[in-house]
Amino acid sequence: MPTLLVIWCILVGVLGNLQKGEGRIRHYRWDVKYEYKSPDCFKKLVITINGRSPGPTIQAEEGDTVVVEVNNSLVTENLAIHWHGIRQIGSPWFDGTEGVTQCPVLPGDTFKYQFVVDQAGTYLYHAHYGMQREAGLYGLIRVSPRQPEPFAYDYDRSIILDDWFHKSTYEQAAGLSSIPFQWVGEPQSLLINGKGRFNCSLSSPVTGICNATNPECAPYSQTVVPGKTYRLRIGSLTTLSALSFQIQGHKMRVVEADGHYVEPFEVENLFIYSGETYSVLVKADQDPKRNYWITSNVVSRNRTTPPGLAIFNYYPNHPMRSPPTPPPTPPAWDDVKPRLAQSLAIKARQGFIQKPPTTSDRVIVLLNTQNTINGYRKWSVNNVSFSLPQTPYLVALKDNLKDAFDQTPPPEGYDSVNYDIFSVQNNTNATSSNGIYRLEFNSTVDVILQNANTMNKNNSETHPWHLHGHDFWVLGYGNGKFDKDKDPKKYNLENPILKNTVPVHPYGWTALRFKANNPGVWLFHCHIDSHFYMGMGVVFEEGIHRLAEKLPSSIMGCGETKTFRP
pLDDT on residue 565: 67
pLDDT on residue 196: 97
Please check whether residue 538 is in contact with residue 366, taking contact to mean a CB–CB distance below 8 angstroms: yes
> CA dist 66 to 25, 27, 101, 103, Å?
6, 6, 18, 21
Instruction: Report the residue count for the chain.
Output: 566
Encode burial over 382-403: b for 16+ CB neighbours within 10 A, e otherwise: bbbbbebbebbbbbbbbbebee
Where along the chain do the CATH 2.60.40.420 domains lie? 25-147, 156-347, 362-561
pLDDT on residue 17: 45
pLDDT on residue 564: 76
pLDDT mean over 98-116: 98
What values do phi and psi take at 232, rounded to 5?
Answer: -105, 120
Summary mean pLDDT of the chain = 94
CATH number of 362-561: 2.60.40.420
pLDDT on residue 11: 38
pLDDT at 207 over 80: no
pLDDT on residue 566: 63
Strand 229-236 and strand 155-164: the pairing is: parallel
Could you tell me which of 445, 427, 439, 438 has the C-alpha nearest to residue 381?
A: 427
Q: Which of 104-118, 202-216, 456-470 has the lowest mean pLDDT?
A: 202-216
Q: Which fold has domain 156-347?
A: Immunoglobulin-like (2.60.40)
Interatomic CA distance for residues 211 and 515, integer angstroms: 51
Please check whether residue 319 is in contact with residue 290, taking contact to mean a CB–CB distance below 8 angstroms: no
What is the band of 562 on the pLDDT scale with cuts at 50, 70, 90? confident
pLDDT on residue 21: 56
pLDDT on residue 103: 98
187 prior amide bond cis, ω within 30 = no
Any residues with CB less than 8 A from the CB of 326 and at least 6 apart, and which?
A: 293
Q: Does domain 25-147 have CATH number 2.60.40.10?
A: no
> CA dist 396 to 402, 520, 565, Å?
7, 12, 14
pLDDT on residue 428: 77
Please check whether residue 415 is in contact with residue 484, taking contact to mean a CB–CB distance below 8 angstroms: no
- Percent of the chain exceeding pLDDT 70 equals 96
pLDDT on residue 4: 45
Please check whether residue 188 is in contact with residue 146, taking contact to mean a CB–CB distance below 8 angstroms: no
- Percent of the chain exceeding pLDDT 90 equals 92
For residue 409, the Cα-to-chain-centroid distance in whole angstroms is 26
pLDDT at 19 over 70: no
Strand 138-144 and strand 121-127: the pairing is: antiparallel
pLDDT in tens, 306-347: 999 999 999 999 999 999 999 999 999 999 999 999 999 999
Q: Is 436 left (phi over 0), alpha (psi -120 to 50) or beta?
A: beta
pLDDT at 6 over 80: no
pLDDT in tens, 473-530: 999 999 999 999 999 999 999 999 999 999 999 999 999 999 999 999 999 999 999 9
> CA dist 314 to 58, 76, 325, 509, Å?
27, 45, 15, 42
pLDDT in tens, 400-438: 999 999 999 999 999 999 999 999 998 878 999 999 999
Interatomic CA distance for residues 281 and 232, integer angstroms: 6
pLDDT on residue 284: 98
Interatomic CA distance for residues 555 and 318, integer angstroms: 49
pLDDT on residue 429: 80
pLDDT in tens, 267-291: 999 999 999 999 999 999 999 999 9
In DSSP terms, 244 is beta-bridged to 271, 297
